[in-house]
Amino acid sequence: MLARQTQSRTLHWLGRQLFNRDDPAAFFDPLLERINPMWVQAYTPARVEQVIEETADTRTLVLRPSRRWSGFKAGQHVNICVDVGGVRRNRTFSLSSSPILWREQGRVTLTIKRLPGGRVTNWIHDELQAGMVIGVGEAFGNFLVPEPAQPVLFIAGGSGITPVLSQLETMAATDYRAPVTLLYFVRTEADVIAREKLQALAARYSALTVTIITTHEGASPRYLCAADFDRIPGIRARQVYLCGPKGLMDLARDLLHQRDIDDTDIHSTFFSVPQADLGKEALGGQVRFAESGIDVGSEGDANLLDIAEAAGLTPQHGCRMGICHQCSCRKTSGTVVNRLTGQASGPGEETIQICISVPRGPVAIDL
């Protein structure tokens, strides 16, 4: 460990002298990657130790990140970067293992569903193999197990089970002393992710009740309904955690509100950007990327990150969903609308997240 730290400090010092940059060690990455990809400095490398088939369209990656990675809390996300066709791509996924696995074995898992047309998820499913190295960022997110212990209801749909798996394993391992209920919705029995793990958790963790509901195996679809909540003891005293498709999450919120369960007791995370009502005023406009000296026009509800990339720029970003804040930069003039909230910004200087900011008229960005 000491030798690796000394090596990293030496590279950093030498690079600063040569390049006068805050991230100078990254200049050596092309050479380091050829010698040992786990020495790369621009991101935290993680070696793929195993690829597990969960369902026909879902895989679990068992990763061993470099020891300089800081770890995570149950329910958090992580950005990964992979090389697809010679271009480094960043995407965000939930960690599906307990932090205890990281602390005791130096391993983590990501459970990733193939998305139709998804550039990165398709590459992961078709090309990524054990022994390869990918990049991971630091963990982030507030979809966390309540402390101190309180009764919990998880409602998950499809691959939305991934952060819940991390939370349930952590609760079981720490003897979380409060009732925990999981309602897990999948289209068919073949779509259940981590079935054996869920069965094992329910068998050894007496506080946990697991109900798996298939929505498309009967004569008509079977969705979340009020009767599901009738069977949950003390539902109004529960902290509710939602993760899944937008339709399921919206339906769950409506049913919970009907029972006078307040939004302060409802926690959610998502894997696509929810679209708020952006108002009736026309969107789009001339965008000036001041540092790059580029002016481009935009129409409709395209966000500033997409506009910048279409103009050939490569701004820093991570989740593309307004969670990680890695794309934050300075707006110097103009108005933008937040895609998550529908709220318009002021016309002056402020820091915005370009992945969820849509121009409404002329906008200038320090990029």
Judge whether 152 and 180 are in contact, CB under 8 Å. yes
Nearest-angstrom CA–CA distance, 151 and 207: 10
Domain ranges (residues) in the chain: 2-136, 152-269, 284-365
Averaged pLDDT for residues 322-342: 85
**CATH 3.40.50.11540 correct for 152-269:** no
**Lowest mean pLDDT, pick from 82-96, 170-184, 239-253:** 82-96
Judge whether 344 and 291 are in contact, CB under 8 Å. no
**Lowest mean pLDDT, pick from 31-40, 66-75, 146-155, 310-319:** 31-40
Nearest-angstrom CA–CA distance, 70 and 138: 7
Averaged pLDDT for residues 23-49: 62
Using the predicted structure, report yes or no on whether residue 21 has a pLDDT greater than 50: no
Radius of gyration of the chain (CA): 22
Round the average pLDDT of the chain to a whole number and report it.
Answer: 86
Looking at the DSSP bridge assignments, the partners of residue 109 are 62
Place of tokens 């963790």: 205
Sign of the alpha-carbon torsion through 141, 199, 146, 215: positive
Q: How would residue 334 be classed by pLDDT, with cut points 50, 70 and 90?
A: very high
Q: How would residue 17 be classed by pLDDT, with cut points 50, 70 and 90?
A: very low
Judge whether 62 and 49 are in contact, CB under 8 Å. yes
110-145 tens-digit pLDDT: 999 998 888 899 999 999 999 999 999 889 889 999
The pLDDT assigned to 197 comes to: 95
The pLDDT assigned to 38 comes to: 52
The structural architecture, per CATH, of the domain 284-365 is Roll (3.10)
Using the predicted structure, report yes or no on whether residue 29 has a pLDDT greater than 60: no
Nearest-angstrom CA–CA distance, 193 and 20: 48
Nearest-angstrom CA–CA distance, 2 and 33: 21
Q: What is the pTM of this model?
A: 0.76
CATH, range 2-136: 2.40.30.10
Is-same-fold flag (152-269; 284-365)? no
Query: Which has the higher per-residue pLDDT, 267 or 278?
Result: 267
The pLDDT assigned to 20 comes to: 46
Query: Which has the higher per-residue pLDDT, 17 or 71?
Result: 71
Residue of 94, 85, 71, 78 lying closest to 135 (CA atoms) = 78
160-202 tens-digit pLDDT: 999 999 999 999 999 999 999 999 999 999 999 999 999 999 9
Judge whether 301 and 281 are in contact, CB under 8 Å. no
